[in-house]
């Protein structure tokens, strides 16, 4: 063998689709693979057993990378109301590999309390995110004062607020009146908290469409928000569809930005591991779930990811659970090297096709919402709530009938079952919208699949 010759694969002839089909047919002992092997994803998308080059020829997008880098920031979630303890946990997280912090305290009542929370943290080298209760103009004002006293320009910091009066109104049942919504505070810009939709049971096309519609509503109030908006989605356990979800959103948001002549605006995409699918009965399985969820978010191109504790909605924070949540991402970066390749799903016939299908379904639903008057009107008249409730019921039925498996909950259950598991999911810190006149609307409850399945067994 000549090891100096140019490496090529000409000696391997290409295999036609017909040849693949012949082998599959033989393995299935004559059964028609088109009837046996295709499946429908939980999102209602038809999935074929294999894809070839010809399947990506007619995509609505070019199968090119949707982003140019694979790096993402590890945001440690800290929710304790004890500010001294929260600060200790924050410093510990940063000293042990976290590159950012997600503070979700119930409240910070003064600049002094905010200083206590942020004491010793080098704000200019990390990403900082505040939960809904801390996403107020006052907190933004105090942060600016604190950074100014440290000779840091707050405008140069990576600071993100969870200020989304539209999406959070679905949980509270209180929607800002249209006329007061037009007076959004200038100190902070809105952020679309699509986690609300996902943790309530919305399917993937709905999450995408509702996020687009909410963002479009904010852009209608102020087109300049295009450059400051960020989006926060859940990452669920439907591995490949979740990868495609994040890729699809970038394509969809680019289409919206073009309408506002803001093509150069960044796509700020954040993710949190889902809460609706975590088990209290077989809690350690949650570690596996958050791992695949974080992988989907990373491979889908999110710039910051929060892995929630495996026992978050039913146990007090512990050093072990915090460490596992953080180390899950460190393993993906430092051992799996998922941060070394930009958009690894690019060019995959399966992922590209799935990206295209999800984008198409989401865009159609987005246009339906716009035709009904936009996101605000769709929330006010209950259209969004009805869509989520229907998807939620379908999801519950699929798990109840064991078409979808949740290990330790509807299959392979441990001998000892936790009766009446904790049902509270989100938000830990309720959003504060005192600056608005509020009107009553239909609300939705966050989904807890384990609780719902126990109801069915009662």
Name the nearest CA neighbour of 164 among 145, 187, 192, 185: 192
Beta bridge partner(s), residue 101: 76, 128
358-398: per-residue pLDDT in tens?
Answer: 999 999 999 999 999 999 999 999 999 999 999 999 999 99
298-328: per-residue pLDDT in tens?
Answer: 999 999 999 999 998 777 888 999 999 999 9
Mean pLDDT value of segment 57-63: 75
Beta bridge partner(s), residue 269: 231
**Looking at the predicted structure, is the pLDDT value of residue 63 above 70?**
no
Written as six digits, the tokens of 160 are 């993100």
**Looking at the predicted structure, is the pLDDT value of residue 70 above 80?**
no
Cα–Cα distance for residue pair 250/263, rounded to 1 Å: 12
Which alpha helices (DSSP H) does 96-238 contain, by range?
111-118, 137-149, 165-172, 178-181, 195-200, 204-221
**Predicted local distance difference test score (pLDDT) of residue 355:** 95
Could you tell me the end-to-end alpha-carbon distance of the chain, in angstroms, rounded to an integer?
70
**Predicted local distance difference test score (pLDDT) of residue 425:** 56
DSSP string, 96-135: TT--EEEE--S---SHHHHHHHHTT--GGGSEEEE-GGG-
221-276: per-residue pLDDT in tens?
Answer: 999 999 999 999 999 999 999 999 999 999 999 999 999 999 889 889 999 999 99
**Predicted local distance difference test score (pLDDT) of residue 424:** 58
Question: Is there a contact between 379 and 111 (Cβ–Cβ < 8 Å)?
Answer: no
- Structural domains of the chain in order of their starting residue, each with its CATH number: 73-362 (3.20.20.240)
pTM summary value: 0.93
């Amino acid at each position: 063998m000549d090891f100096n010759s140019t490496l090529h694969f000409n000696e391997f002839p290409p295999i036609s689709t017909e040849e693949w089909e012949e082998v599959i047919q033989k393995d299935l002992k004559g059964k028609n693979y088109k009837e046996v092997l295709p499946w429908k994803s939980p999102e209602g998308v038809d999935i074929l057993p294999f894809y070839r080059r010809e399947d990506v020829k007619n995509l609505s997008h070019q199968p090119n990378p949707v982003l140019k880098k694979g790096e993402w920031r590890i945001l440690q979630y800290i929710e304790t109301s004890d500010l001294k303890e929260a600060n200790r946990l924050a410093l510990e997280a940063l000293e042990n590999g976290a590159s950012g912090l997600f503070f979700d305290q119930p409240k910070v009542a003064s600049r002094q309390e905010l200083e206590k929370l942020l004491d010793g943290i080098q704000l200019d080298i990390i990403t900082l995110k505040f939960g809904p209760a801390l996403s107020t103009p006052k907190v933004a004002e105090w942060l600016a004062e604190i950074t100014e006293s440290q000779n840091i320009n707050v405008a140069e910091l990576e600071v993100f607020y969870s200020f989304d009066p539209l999406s959070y109104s679905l949980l509270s049942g209180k929607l800002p009146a249209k006329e007061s919504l037009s007076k959004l505070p200038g100190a902070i810009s809105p952020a679309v908290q699509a986690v609300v939709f996902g943790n309530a049971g919305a399917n993937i096309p709905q999450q995408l469409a509702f996020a687009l519609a909410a963002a479009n509503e904010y852009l209608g109030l102020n087109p300049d928000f295009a450059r400051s908006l960020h989006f926060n989605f859940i990452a669920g356990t439907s591995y490949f569809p979740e990868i495609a979800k994040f890729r699809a959103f970038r394509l969809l948001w680019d289409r919206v930005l073009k309408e506002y002549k803001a093509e150069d605006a960044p796509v700020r995409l954040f993710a949190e591991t889902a809460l609706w699918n975590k088990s209290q009965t077989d809690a350690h399985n949650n570690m596996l779930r958050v791992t695949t969820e974080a992988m989907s978010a990373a491979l889908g191109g999110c710039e910051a990811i929060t892995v929630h504790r495996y026992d978050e909605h039913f146990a007090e924070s512990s050093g072990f659970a915090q460490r596992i949540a953080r180390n899950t991402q460190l393993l993906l970066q430092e051992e799996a090297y998922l941060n070394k390749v930009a958009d690894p799903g690019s060019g995959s016939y399966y992922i590209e096709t799935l990206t295209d299908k999800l984008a198409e379904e989401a865009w159609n639903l987005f246009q339906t919402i716009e035709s009904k008057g936009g996101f605000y009107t769709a929330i006010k008249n209950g259209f969004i709530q009805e869509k989520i409730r229907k998807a939620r019921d379908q999801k519950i039925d699929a798990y109840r009938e064991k078409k979808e498996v949740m290990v330790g909950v509807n299959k392979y259950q441990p001998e000892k079952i936790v009766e009446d598991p904790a049902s509270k999911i989100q938000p830990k810190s309720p959003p504060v919208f005192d600056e608005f006149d509020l009107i009553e609307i239909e609300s939705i409850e966050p989904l807890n699949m384990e609780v719902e399945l126990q109801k069915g067994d009662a």
